[in-house]
Structures are given as C-alpha cells and as structure tokens.
Structure 1
Amino acid sequence: MNKTALRALLRERRALIAPESHGFSRPRGQGRRAPGLSQHQVDQLLHRTFGTYHRLESGNYPNPPASLLRDVARLFGLNEQEWVSLCRYALLQDPPGPLHPSSGKEIPGVWQEAVESITHMAYVTDASWELLAHNEPFEAMFPDRRVPTNTMRWMLLEPDGREQLTDWRDSWVPMVLPQLRAALVARPDDEILRAIEKEVVADPELSHLYDSDGALIHPDGHERPLRHAVHGLGWVSICAAQPMTAPGSRLFILIYHPGMERRHSRAPMLRAM
C-alpha cells in the first residue's frame, strides 16, 4: 500500500463533493470547516460502519475489499485512470475490472487521425472487439475491402476470417480463444462477448478447443501467417497497445511480410541503455 499517494488522491476527490449534493447540511458556527464530505458522511453514503472510510484514507486498512474501493470510486466520480491508481495505491495491483460497464466502449476521436497516420495496417477495437477506427492499409487487407465490424467474431467464426488467417486452426485459434476467455473474466456481463462465446461453444471445430487450457491473453510481438487480399500469402508481426482512457480497448499494428517463409530473426527487445 502506498499510504501517501492513497491519502492524497482520496482527500483531493472527497473535498470536491459538496455535502449539500447528498442531502447533508454544512455546519454553521463553530465546527468542521474542511471542504467536501466528511469521512463519516462517506461511511453513511456507502452504508459502511463508522470509521471504515477513515481507515482507508489514512492507510490503515490493509487489503481493503475491491467492493469498498469500487463504491468509493463511484461516489467520488473517479475516471478509469484514477480507478487504476486507486487500486494500485491501496492494493498494489491493477483493478479486477473496469469501474463502469460502459468503459472501454469509446475512445477520443483523435485516435482516427492517429491511426490514419500509421503506414502499416492499423486499427482500434473496443472492449468487445468492435471496430472503432482503422486506416486504409488495413481496409486493403480484405477482399472488396469488406472490413469486419467485430474482429474477434471475424477471426473465430466467419468463413472469410478462417480463409484469410492461414493455418487458422494451429496458428490463430490457440492464440485467440484465450483472449476471449480473458475478456469475459474482466467483463462477465458483456452481451457481445457472451454472444460470441455462445457461438464458439456451439461450433464443432471450436468447442473442444475453447475448453482446453490456454494462457496467452495478448498477441503483442507475435508473428502469424495471413493471406492479404492484395499482396497474397505472407506473415504479419503484431504490435498491440491500449488507449489509456478505455480499458479493454486495443490498438493493433500489423506489419506485413510477403512470402511463404516465416522470418526467423526477430528484432531484439528494446531496453533503455
């Protein structure tokens, strides 16, 4: 637990909330003059026993439950980045999931311009793998430039995906299915992901593979075979990242290498000197 950072974050955000906005009256005459909600008022609003919030803000609550942190974050109006900070300060780990179910479904509009500036194939998906932004080189990868609306569904279930992702069963499926499973752990109520999972379980080629173990949850740095609609058979090196304001969203950059032979020499890991 980082007590100093935790205390600073919670005090600052608590001070921004007017007690009157929650039905409390501000004391007059002698008494408390500090801005914002009192610690006891926070306990009342969260239906916690007296002193619970004080223990959290003072750093004297080792391993507080995630449910308490989530309730505090929502009461204080934290955004997703602040929610991550709160969990790291209080628990020394990332949060178990997004703060709000709607998080990860939208990104700042400037991402479209950013993606268009990339010379390699590039696209951004939301937390449900719905396509949010892409560039012209990515569009050119598909026959008749028919870009899929959901890349997870396209990779696993659509016939065009199975044809373009060469060596689909051995090179792609074992890498993609664990990502679906991991996404559902973080977002168990996501209707789009649940619908994809239902189709996967009903698919005779995928159902038994989905039940098998698989630990990979991101493709960053991997190289996989692909049939490009314009350039033919080749390989793509995959770079993956996440927009900071949308947990679960993803930026993918696909670097295409033509030819049947897989590259054997990968670029070395980058480290600060």
Structure 2
Amino acid sequence: MHIDPAAHGLLPGATGQGRLPQGLSQAQVDQLLHRAFGTYGRLESGRYPSPPDDLLEGVARLFHFTEEEWKILWRYAVTTDPPYPLHPHSGKEIAAVWQEAIDGIGHMAYVNNQSWDVLAHNESWVRMFPRREAPPNTMRWMLLAPEARHILIDWETSWVPLVIPQLRSALAALPNDEVLLKIERDILADPVVGPLFEATPDQFLHPDGDERPLHHPELGRGWVSVAASEPLSSPRARLIILLFRTEQTRPRLRPPLTRPSPLSPASDQVHT
C-alpha cells in the first residue's frame, strides 16, 4: 500500500535508490517508526536477521497490513508465523460473504470464532440438534450440554479427549479471553466434565480429518468426517464441515489427496 508522506506531515521523498514508488521513502519509514537510519532498508532487503516484534508490528500498522500480509511479513523476516494477530477483532469476526458461502454447502457447516462462538451456519447443521436450535457456543455445547452426551456417541471416550486439548490450547494462546475462561470455570465446577478435564493430558489435536461417531436426530446413528480450515482474514476462526454417513454408507479409509509428481511413472502413462 502506498502511503502519502503528507498524511504524516512529511514532504515527498527524494527520487533515486531507496525511494518507495509513490509513497514513503525508506528513510521516512525509519523516521516514522523512530528507528535508526537504514533500519527499514535492511528489513526490506532481507539483511536484518531476527528483527524485533515491535519493528514488524510498526511496519504492519504503518502500511495498514491485513492479517494475511502480517503473516507474509513474518514468514519473510523471521521464517515463522506471527505469534499473535495484528488486529484486535481478528478471530472474533469474519467477512459477511461467509454466510452465503456456507448456505451453499450441502453438508453440515458452520463457522465459529476463536472462542467457539458460532458466527454463521447452514440449515443442514441446525438439523443436528433435536429442537433445531443452533447452540451459541460449540465448545460449551460439546462439553457441558446434557443432550451432547447422547448425540455425540461415546462422548466420554471418542469426543471429550479430543475436544479438551483444543480448549486448553486456546486458553494458553488467549489467556484473557473471557468466554473461554467462563467455559473453563463451568467445566471445573461440573461433577462429570470436571474430573475428565483434569485427567485429560495436555496435547493439541486439531479436528481436521477426524471421524467420530454421532447420533443424528433425523438420520440415526452414523459417523461424521470433519473438514476444518481457517479463514485467511480472521486467524483462529474456524470453518467446520461435517460429512455425516450411516454405518451402511461409511467409506473405508482413503489415502490423502495429492497430485502425482511429474516424474512419477504414473504420469508417463498415456490414457486412451
């Protein structure tokens, strides 16, 4: 993004080497970030090993980076993903187009935020609940709703040991999230879930690719395969798609999808 120097009370930068086209010069970036001369030039050219977090954040905020641009900056400068989102609303909201996109998915689908609050869902997912009422928070429903212990087959052995580590991981990353803290307090006060929470070992298990037993109120007993992803504009939000199959239609274990290498023997075959 081109930044007008005048917006910061600066004159246009000099032309020549180091000039940012139609925007700030490298020297002006240093001035605005209160850095020594040449700091931004070293960062931009890749000659700044292990730049500090506050420098990267200053650059991102100066140039009004999106979350995806913030991630690219970290990967370029530090070769890791950023340890925290750039914007305070990230993880709490998603673009409005997601509701229309989810409505077009035939399988059960929903999006929740970093606290597992439901932001959007389709009608197929609502049918999973006996009263066709979507729960406001999926983490709270899975661990604390009495009906979940009947819908989620083998709740104590097939669901709880996989869900609790996700909550623990989120609490470690978001220690001040009031929604998550309230869920944790309610879990510890629950005579059934509390001991399970204490006994479950610390490990992170994402749900993508999982297959778990489920009793669908309308379709009967079966299995859901979980496809999970993260909207690029909202880190820690999650798109969850649940593919329900009965015992009769449950597929066998399938290999991961991959594109054959151009050098593999299969790629040399000519199909007629």
Q: TM-score range by the shorter chain?
A: 0.7 to 0.9
1:100 partner SS: coil
Aligned match of 2:121: 134
Aligned match of 1:220: 208
Corresponding residue to 1:24 among 2, 6, 10 = 10
Q: What letter corresponds to residue 221 of structure 2 in structure 1? A: L
Aligned match of 1:6: none
Counterparts of residues 1-273 of structure 1 (less than 5 Å): 13=1, 16-26=2-12, 35-211=22-198, 212-259=200-247, 265-273=252-260
Q: For residues 46 and 111 of structure 2, what CA distance do their matches in structure 1 show? A: 38
Question: How many residues of Structure 1 are paired with residues of Structure 2 in the alignment?
Answer: 258
Larger helix proportion of the pair:
1
Q: For residues 253 and 92 of structure 1, what CA distance do their matches in structure 2 show? A: 31
Shift in Å, 1:91: 1.5
Q: Deviations over 1:125-167 (max 9, x none)?
A: 1222111221121111101101101111111122222332121
1:225 partner SS: strand
Q: What letter corresponds to residue 144 of structure 1 in structure 2? A: R
Residues 33/96 of structure 1: CA separation in 2 closer, same or farther (3 Å cut):
closer
Please tell me the root mean square deviation across aligned C-alpha atoms, in Å. Answer: 2.8
**What's the TM-score once normalised by structure 1's chain length?**
0.83
Q: For residues 254 and 89 of structure 2, what CA distance do their matches in structure 1 show? A: 37
Contact kept in structure 1, 2:19 and 2:25, CA below 8 Å: no
1:60 partner SS: coil
Q: What letter corresponds to residue 23 of structure 1 in structure 2? A: G
Q: For residues 145 and 36 of structure 2, what CA distance do their matches in structure 1 show? A: 53
1:145 partner SS: coil
Q: What letter corresponds to residue 71 of structure 2 in structure 1? A: V
Q: For residues 165 and 38 of structure 1, what CA distance do their matches in structure 2 show? A: 58
Deviation larger for 54-63 or 183-192: 183-192
Aligned match of 1:9: none
Aligned match of 1:5: none
Q: Deviations over 1:30-83 (max 9, x none)?
A: xx9754233333334333344332321221111212332122111210001111
1:159 partner SS: coil
2:55 partner SS: helix
Q: For residues 47 and 240 of structure 1, what CA distance do their matches in structure 2 show? A: 42
Residues 264/213 of structure 1: CA separation in 2 closer, same or farther (3 Å cut):
farther
Identical amino acids, percent of aligned pairs? 54
1:144 partner SS: coil
Residues 188/38 of structure 1: CA separation in 2 closer, same or farther (3 Å cut):
farther
2:94 partner SS: coil
2:131 partner SS: helix
Q: Structure 2: which 5+ runs fail to align?
A: 261-272
Contact kept in structure 2, 1:141 and 1:228, CA below 8 Å: yes
Q: Structure 1: which 5+ runs fail to align?
A: 1-12
Deviation larger for 97-106 or 199-208: 199-208
Q: For residues 202 and 47 of structure 1, what CA distance do their matches in structure 2 show? A: 50
**What's the TM-score once normalised by structure 2's chain length?**
0.83
Residues 237/59 of structure 1: CA separation in 2 closer, same or farther (3 Å cut):
same
